[in-house]
Amino acid sequence: MRDGIRAILKLHPDFNIAGEAENGHDAIQFIKRQPTDVILMDIGLPGLSGIETTSELLRHSADTRVIILSMYEDEDSVVSAMRAGARGFVLKQASEMDLVDALRTVARGGTYLSPEVSDKLLRRLQNGNMETRSQGPAVEGLSPRELQVMRMVAEGKTSKEIAVMLDLGLQTVRSYRKTMMKKLGVSNVAGLTQIALAAGVTHLPGHPHQLHQQPPVHQQQPLRAKSHHA
């Protein structure tokens, strides 16, 4: 998919491709070195999800505008993306003109949602329910950062790997793990994983509702487009 997006952007001289990254950690490191106007972010990145990467990235570059690319149009993903700071949510099956329109709209300071997504959100708003589905009482006391660490631990990441992905110190990650286990009343990773699965923080591989699973190779990685409109 990246090749297709790159080819599309090259047809429009008002955009310049500033760079690409393989995963969320690399994207955050890139933005620290080279502030960028607009980022196209795959929701299904390996390691840090696209939504988690968006939140982290905007802590380092508040002026950057992020558009989430997703195969999914479920409302929870859209609401979570917007709360993380994304300015757009575009489905991967969107047309070339829809993608370009999204980039130009967001580059000018606007917000863009694919029509299918905006229709679903409108119905949800009309029903008076804009909250994401509860993750269950067991994890309600955890902070967003603790939930990130919990998901990664449950997915088999080591403390060292988590530290690299989240750009944290190793002792900080170990402290998060210790605090989480104390809050949840568990003493090992197996217990932590069981709670994470039950609360929907993560899912078993192949689970039909898994949104953070690494997608096929042709649908990976965020692509950054630097726009002359911004």
230 residues of the chain, pLDDT tens digit each = 778 888 888 888 889 899 999 888 899 999 989 889 999 999 888 778 888 899 888 888 889 999 999 987 777 788 888 888 899 999 999 999 999 999 999 999 899 998 888 877 777 666 665 555 545 556 778 887 888 888 888 878 889 988 888 888 999 999 989 888 888 888 888 888 888 877 777 755 443 333 333 333 333 344 455 544 44
The total number of structural domains in the chain stands at 2
Same domain, 64 and 161: no
Residue 192: domain span: 137-199
Domain match, 20 and 56 both: yes
* Residue 205 domain flag: no
123 plus 144 within the same structural domain: no
Q: How far lies 53's CA from each of 32, 49, 180, 229, in Å? A: 13, 6, 21, 24
Torsion angle of alpha carbons 142, 145, 146, 152, nearest 10°? 140
Provide the CB-side half-sphere exposure for 16 (13 A, CA): 7
In this structure, are 18 and 68 located in the same domain? Answer: yes
